[in-house]
Structure 1
Amino acid sequence: MLRVLVTRPEPGASRTAQRLQDIGFRSVLLPLTETVALPVDAKLLPGDAIAVAVTSTNAVRHAPKGIIARLAGLPCYAVGKRTADAAREAGFSSVSEGPGNAEALADSLAGDFSGNAIVYLCGRVRFPVFEQELKTAGVQVHAAETYDTLAVGYSDEAILKRLSGQPADVVLLYSAKAAAAMRALAGRPALQKLFEKARFFVLSERIAATLDDTAGERIRVAAQPDEEALLALLRARL
């Protein structure tokens, strides 16, 4: 049974591990990043905002209850199904499910909200394309950073213990920050044999580029930047 290393942060890591086991893979948990909540001052939210945009489930889950209460009456535009579900669970009453990626969501909002203000619930680490495209279209985007993504440090001994001293067959990578952490781990003399033959399945070309010198031709990129596409690629390739 192939050993698949899951590097995404909790609680998503355990959910992915279960999905892998359900389709016949052996999962090993090694979160390389963690998300932490950030304080958000409700007084800084614009009073004239007419909508909320969300491109990450973590942005909703880490948002303070007071911020959600302040915004819940506005229409919420989520990037995809999981983010839309998280927004509904948080208390937003009107949630629209987007096309699945941030650029496409920005395209769909640009014409409707030109000249108006929206609140963007987001992380401190994020792609700038979503905001840039909307601002170019004349949308006033007010970013409310509700969480940060931090790297998790491990000793050589901790990594060897997690993997039981056995090489990983596959590594799943969900972010450039995790890819950078994996590249550093794979370069440690004590750990090189654990990753020298592993195949890396990643969500985007940007993540692949972060990892490239480490893995080269052993990298595979999902057709879409979501877990469904990543696991479909894994099943097809293996």
Structure 2
Amino acid sequence: MTDGARLLLTRPEAASRRFLAACEAGWGRPIPALVSPVMEIVPVPVVLAGRPAALVLTSENGATRAGELDLSGLPAWCVGPRTADVARRAGLRPVAVARDAEGLLATILVARPAGPLLHLRGEHGRGDLAARLGAAGIVASEAVAYRQQERPPSPEARTALDGPDSFVAPVFSPRSALLLAGWHPRAALHVVAISPAVAAAAATLCPASLVVAPHPEGSAMVEATLGRLDRLLPRRLEANGGAD
């Protein structure tokens, strides 16, 4: 790529690397990227009052923690295929996979499974799923199973974000957008938001451009991110007309 255009990936390290690999598969060549997570996932001790009838999992981190808490064999209501895959590897039985938390809530309300349900979530969460399920007559509780601990920019990121480069920055949560804004980047950021709520939080970044993925899922984020990269450096032109 030219003109300093790069991907800025701020999810936790493993998730950033997976997203980069998916983007490169779609792009058809390596993509220069700067990986500097705005947070890391830190497990939090959980004391269970009893064994739930089923789990509500809105992230792969919750699914990972479920496997560590000896909850294998339970049904799991999941947001996203990645969460469901991690849940299966943890010995759980995904019974439904929704696009987002609102879709999962609607699915559970229609199915009305026997409780108690347990939502394993992060310290910083949105949606109040357990409370909303309870208000609808479904016995549900929640437990904070991990903390999304803030991280500063890496030295490389600090230098790059103070410089003249342009970045395409996929952002997956409102908190990630706010933490990135706290780094006070001076570089031009072309933000790709996974949802309107993330886009609203990303406005604090004063982005050079801002687009919202058509669906709140990983494949849609990959396509939207590649669309931004195409505008900065059309892959077809580079592939067909570029010089070696």
- 1:18 is matched with 21
Task: Decide whether aligned partners of structure 1 residues 13 and 173 sit closer, same or farther in structure 2, where only a CA change above 3 A counts.
Answer: same
Within 2, Cα distance between the matches of 1:75 and 1:115?
11
Is the CA contact (8 Å cut-off) linking 1:170 and 1:198 kept in structure 2?
yes
- 1:171 is matched with 169
Is the CA contact (8 Å cut-off) linking 2:123 and 2:146 kept in structure 1?
yes
Deviations 1:146-178 (A, max 9, x none): 1111211237x5434466955133111112222
- 2:72 is matched with 72
- 1:218 is matched with 209
1:159 maps to which of 143, 157, 160: 157
Task: Decide whether aligned partners of structure 1 residues 203 and 73 sit closer, same or farther in structure 2, where only a CA change above 3 A counts.
Answer: same
Is the CA contact (8 Å cut-off) linking 2:177 and 2:202 kept in structure 1?
yes
State the SS of the aligned residue for 1:208. Answer: helix
Could you tell me which amino acid in structure 1 is paired with residue 33 of structure 2? S
Within a 5 Å distance, the mapping from 1:14-163 to structure 2 comes to: 14-22=17-25, 23=27, 24=29, 25-42=31-48, 44-45=49-50, 47=51, 49-63=52-66, 65=68, 67=69, 69=70, 71-92=71-92, 94-113=93-112, 116-154=115-153, 157-161=155-159
Task: Decide whether aligned partners of structure 1 residues 137 and 114 sit closer, same or farther in structure 2, where only a CA change above 3 A counts.
Answer: farther
Runs of 5+ unmatched residues, structure 1: none
Could you tell me which amino acid in structure 2 is paired with residue 83 of structure 1? T
Within 1, Cα distance between the matches of 2:77 and 2:165?
42
Within 2, Cα distance between the matches of 1:162 and 1:19?
24
Within 2, Cα distance between the matches of 1:89 and 1:64?
8
Deviations 1:207-226 (A, max 9, x none): 22122143256111112222
| TM value normalised by structure 2 | 0.81
Q: Once the 2 structures are TM-superposed, how far is the Cα of residue 8 of structure 1 from its aligned partner?
A: 0.6
Within 2, Cα distance between the matches of 1:116 and 1:89?
23
State the SS of the aligned residue for 1:108. Answer: helix
Is the CA contact (8 Å cut-off) linking 1:54 and 1:121 kept in structure 2?
yes
| TM value normalised by structure 1 | 0.83
* CA RMSD of superposed structures (Å): 2.4
Aligned identity (percent) is 25
2:200 maps to which of 198, 201, 209: 209
